[in-house]
Each structure stands twice: as structure tokens, then as C-alpha cells.
Amino acid sequence: MTVIVPSKNLLVTMSPKVACTSIKTALFQVENGFPFTPFNCCGSFRSIHHPAIYPALDFASAEKLMDRNRMDPFKTRKFTVVRDPVSRFLSAYTNRVTYYRDMERECAQNPEIRSQFDELGLPAVPDLDVFIDNFEHYVKLSPSIRLHTRRQIYFLGDDAAFYTGVFSFNRIHEFEAAISECIGSDFRLEKLQTGGEKISPDVLSPAHLTKIRRIYAKDFDVYSRFF
């Protein structure tokens, strides 16, 4: 997930479930001078995440985006926000699995996905234990879950030294202050993804906590000092 604002020599990368919608929406106004409003075009809904607006880019694509826009990597200020992977995983579960029920929607829209769920005997709206136990299957079957639970290094890269600043999701005001200084005006994020109950990592069994930490081991290796 990447937004560039060439006029401000600014690049921001982000991961799903790390204030991604809020950051993209706020930066759209910085880049264009007016707020983003979702719209329909030719019968298709266009959200801030639409490929024609701000697509879900991996880190390699983000670097290419800078090159295409002739942004000097030494002059461009590069920022990102990171989140503890366990909290991020739980947020993805409550928001995408149980609140928006993404997998249930995917099954309804795609008979092939539905048949794969049925073949494995997996519910489309699993409880947390079932979701963690069968996470490898859910990631393969569901495009939405695959996107929202990818490792942060997929979107941000595996070298924190690339960035001018790396900020914690828990101290998002520091990111707002850095962007405000960069653009020369007040920058504030509106919380836009609020659906889903909040689950504490304390509810996880030791085995499930270990599994999640193992899945995101590379995120911990690269960015844990910023969480």
C-alpha cells in the first residue's frame, strides 16, 4: 500500500489494518486539494483502495512508482506506520471475518470458492480458534483474508533504514506531526475502519499466540523496536 505526493517529495507506505484507509483518505486530500468521496462508475463501486486510485502495492512496486514519477530517493521523505502483528491479526479477524463477513460474501459470489470451503468443511464465519487453527487454508481460499493478513514487510520492505521515519500505530499522533511538518499544514487522520469488536491478545492460548508470532516472525525481526 503506497501513496506518493510528488509535489511534496513524500512517499508513505502502509499495511492493511494499520490505519490504511484513514491514511490514504487523508493523503488523497493532500495530493488533490479536496476530500475523497467514494463513487460509482459504470456500475462499479470505487473506494479509496480501487486500483485506479490507491492500489495495494507491494514494496517493490512502491519503489518503481517513485522511479516513474522521477522522485529523487535522496530528497523524498519516506514514512510508514507499523503495528504489533498480533494486534493487527486480531483486528483483521474481527473487522474482515466477523464484521464485514468477507469470506461469506466471497462464497456467495464465487461458487468455486464455496465448493472449496465445503470440501474442507470450513465455516465462512469461523470463531477465532477455528480461524487460527485453519489459517493456512483460509489464506489460500480467501483473497480478502490473504490481503489483510499479509506480513507487513510485504508492503513496507525488510529494511527499516529505507525510511525517514517509522511510527507506531499506538502513537499515530507522531506520524501526523511528521506529515504536518512535511506538507507545511495541519494533517489529521479520521478513524474510518471502526467495525468489529476489540479482542485483547490475552484471550489467545499459548499455542495460538506462538503460531501467530511465528507467522509474522519477519515483521518482528525488522520492525519490533517501533511497535
pLDDT (tens digit per residue) in 123-163: 999 999 999 999 999 999 999 999 999 999 999 999 999 99
Looking at residue 96, the DSSP 8-state letter turns out to be I
CATH class given for the domain over 2-226: alpha beta
- CA nearest neighbour of 38 among 28, 25, 48: 48
pLDDT band at 67 (very low <50, low <70, confident <90, very high): confident
For range 176-199, the mean pLDDT? 90
CA distance 88 to 85: 5
- What pLDDT, on a 0 to 100 scale, did the predictor assign at position 27? 95
Helix axis angle for 102-109 and 111-120, nearest 10°, is 120
- What pLDDT, on a 0 to 100 scale, did the predictor assign at position 197? 86
For range 195-214, the mean pLDDT? 94
Question: pLDDT at residue 182 above 90?
Answer: yes
